[in-house]
Structure 1
Amino acid sequence: MGVSMREVAAAASVSVGTVSNVLNSPDKVAPATVIRVQAAIEALGFVRNDAARQLRAGRSRCVGLVVLDVGNPFFTDIARAAERRAGDHDLTVLLGTSDDDERREHAYIDAFDEQRVYGLLVSPIGDDLGRLDLLRRRGTPVILVDRDADGTPFDSVAVDDIAGGRLAVSHLCSIGRRQIAYVGGPAGLRQVADRRRGAEQAVAEVDGASLEVVETSALSVLAGREVGESLQRRSPAARPDAVFCANDLVAIGVLQAFTMLGGDVRVPDDIALIGYDDIDFAGSAVVPLSSVRQPTSLIGATAVELLISAATESPQRHRPSNPVFQPELVARASTLG
């Protein structure tokens, strides 16, 4: 049997209400009393019953965060920024990764719902948001992360991926490349599709430019390496002269195939290479990788702020907010030599 608040109160010679205030609103209690109660808590080994507190409040102090791939530093950076901002508001972030699997995504959504989380931050896999809308209508704030939800009932924070795709391919065309390959997938991911659309728009504006689409099953280093190896097996005349990858992990895999596995492709002399996200590894690759930078810290922090706003406003007065940030081109040796 655990130690009760009543026992803590008796040991500190205060009321149960004072113990509760020390735990939840210490600014309402005299500093000397706070010290005395904290000493009693430590001496008795009292552990707060958060489940009971959650039932009374109707909502926990935990925020659920579901990302596509926690192994991708892009999402890791978003999670860290969200965790820092949540901590400023006495909230804790619980992280789950869907691994681009809708069943896993649904399982995490259901688990966080059962835990009565304060709110949910999620990078959804597909366009069917029905499960998330049901959660929202039951009173749990839901913020879409790395997805523009303008025109829907959801708050969201995103980056203009169409503009990012245009940036990448316009840069490749500006250095004289015309036979461009776009590498990434699955194609059903909104981010992959939007970056491709931007690439197509950029190619359409340049005479003689073309875009070959090479779909991958995942946005991983291994998937990129497989594509790089397949490009190496082509004759030099059949290869593209530039490759735009849907994220930096894919680009790093392509680069490994070209430079570290006995290949004969020189970057950028034979094939210029650019990624997306500008993760920390990009700048320290064997050939520093050009990339399209996303403001990960701003995305994570803004998502938490939107969540708090949605949680504290009445549903009748809340109006969804959908900020969209602009990406930035970071050109390095993989395109500039």
Structure 2
Amino acid sequence: MPVSIREVAQRAGVSVGTVSNVLNRPDEVSAESVDKVTRAIDELGYVRNDAARKLRAGISTTVGFVVLDGQNPFYNDVVRGAEDEATRHGIAILYGNTDEDHRREKLYLDLFEEQQVRGLLIAPYGDVTSRLQRLRSRGIATVLVDRFSGDGRFSSVSVDSVVGGRMAAEHLIQTGRRRIAFVGGPFDIRQVNDRLAGARVAAENAGDHIDLEVVATAAMTVDEGVAAGARIVSRPRREWPDALFAANDLLALGLLQSLVVDGRMLVPDDIAIIGFDDIAFAAAAAVPLSSIRQPSRMIGRTALRIVLEEATDPDSIARQTVFQPELVVRASTRAR
């Protein structure tokens, strides 16, 4: 069992309060008492519970981070960026994956509220505004991650997904593609809607000769991408699109896998594929995957810095940090 502060006091022959003062306010204690307590600590091997001390003082050393999809390497990189920044400040990250599930999201929010974390970073699933307002009323600073705060109530760190969607579709059009299928879902995820909105802008700007359809998926996973690819290939050949814009790279990799296994549609000769996020696996795919890159680690680092600043100054004004996406072209969208 760990040595208690009471045992230290007994060994030193002083009160528990004196030991506490030696640990926290040594300038208020006599040199003799400091010497007695120090020797008792050394003899017993006492290790102070710094986390408990800070918790009693109302200063938590943890920040909660709730992500939308823990299987997506993009979010892993965002969390890694937050962890790198947290380490610099002596803060630990408590991590929760909602897996696009409202019940799991509520469970983690309940947990982090009970733990009285110093701050909360969240890539939300749906609308959690009222819940985040409650957390803030309890002194827990909150920053949205990978989601723009439309009403400006909360600080947010995101990438302009509308611009990214437009860039992806414009690239496909510039390579000569005219029948584009947007593959993604569910559509209660804001990022999916934004990326589709950007693609629609690009199609409209290009004129009536561009056909943009939507192939809905139940989730943003490789398996859903494989299933969507199978549905597309099962159509009559005259109904095949000549380009696919996947709402994220996991879907794009699933689409690529499905098409490669089937073998009837060659990438990029018959059909081009572009994803979103530019995860590490994109460049290593059987056909290297074009993608819209997000600065994932920078998003995490920036969000952590903001939440700590707001935890220190609750009256600070919410800020919206929006990074611009970058088009990364690889073999999967080579021009015909």
TM over 0.5: yes
Q: How far did residue 309 of structure 1 move?
A: 1.1
Give the corresponding residue for 1:218. Answer: 219
Which position in structure 1 is the counterpart of 2:31?
Answer: none
SS state of the match for residue 144, structure 1? strand
SS at match of 1:249: helix
Distance 1:211 1:148 in 2: 25
2:241 corresponds in structure 1 to 240
Partner of 2:326: 328
The equivalent residue for 2:73 is: 73
Residue aligning to 1:87:
87
The answer (yes or no) to whether the contact 1:150–1:322 under 8 Å persists in 2 is no
Structure 2: unaligned runs, 5 residues or longer: 27-33
Q: Distance in 1 between matches of 2:43 and 2:185?
A: 53
In structure 2, what is the equivalent of residue 141 of structure 1? 141
Shift of 1:336: 1.3
Secondary structure of the equivalent of 2:106?
helix
After TM superposition, give the deviation of residue 17 of structure 1 in Å: 3.3
Equivalent runs, 1:28-107 vs 2, <5 Å? 40=41, 44=45, 46=47, 48=49, 50-51=51-52, 53-54=54-55, 56-107=56-107
Give runs of aligned pairs for residues 1-337 of structure 1, distance below 5 A.
2-5=2-5, 7=7, 15-20=19-24, 40=41, 44=45, 46=47, 48=49, 50-51=51-52, 53-54=54-55, 56-207=56-207, 208-259=209-260, 261-313=261-313, 315=314, 317-336=315-334
- Larger Rg over CA atoms: 2
Q: Please, what TM-score do these two structures have when normalized by structure 2?
A: 0.89
Distance 1:37 1:195, change over 3 A: farther
Pairwise CA RMSD: 2.4
- Aligned residue identity for 1:200: R
Shift, 1:237, TM fit: 1.6
1:127-171 Cα shifts (integer Å, max 9, x gaps): 241111111122110000001114332111010000000000000
The alpha-carbon deviation at position 3 of structure 1 amounts to 1.1
Shift of 1:233: 1.2
> What is the letter of the counterpart of residue 220 of structure 1?
T
Q: Is the CA contact 2:170–2:202 (under 8 Å) kept in the aligned structure 1?
A: yes
Residues 232, 263 of structure 1: 8 Å contact kept: no
Per-residue deviation, residues 80-135 of structure 1 (Å, max 9, x unmatched)? 01011011111000000011111110110010000010110001111241111111
- 3-state SS in 2 of match to 1:303: helix
Moved more, 136-145 or 171-180: 136-145
Question: What 5-or-longer segments of structure 1 have no aligned partner?
Answer: 23-32
Runs of 4+ displaced beyond 3 Å? 5-22, 36-43, 49-53
SS at match of 2:269: coil
Q: Aligned equivalents of 1:327 and 1:293: distance in 2? A: 6
Query: Is 1:9–1:16's contact at 8 Å kept on the other side of the alignment?
Result: no
Write the letter of the residue equivalent to 1:115: Q
Q: What TM-score comes out, normalization by structure 1 length? A: 0.89
The CA distance in 1 between the partners of 2:297 and 2:54, in whole Å, is: 31
**Rounded Cα–Cα distance in structure 2 between residues aligned with 1:100 and 1:129:** 17
Q: 1:41 to 1:134 in 2, by over 3 A?
A: farther
Aligned residue in 1 for 2:29:
none
Task: Tell me, yes or no, if the aligned pair for 1:8 and 1:46 is still in contact at 8 Å.
Answer: no
Q: Alignment partner of 1:205: what SS?
A: helix
Give the superposition deviation at 1:180.
Answer: 0.1
Q: Classify the secondary structure of the residue corresponding to 1:177.
A: coil
Contact 2:160 2:324 in 1 (8 A): yes
Q: 1:21 to 1:160 in 2, by over 3 A?
A: farther
Contact 2:51 2:61 in 1 (8 A): no
**What residue identity is the alignment partner of 2:88?**
D
Instruction: Determine what percentage of the aligned residue pairs are the same residue.
Output: 47
1:197-223 deviation per Cα after TM superposition (whole angstroms, max 9, x unaligned): 000000001130011001100000000
Q: 1:147 to 1:12 in 2, by over 3 A?
A: farther
Deviation for aligned residue 1:308: 1.1
Change (3 A) 1:104 1:38: farther
Counterpart CA distance in 1 for 2:25 and 2:265 is 67
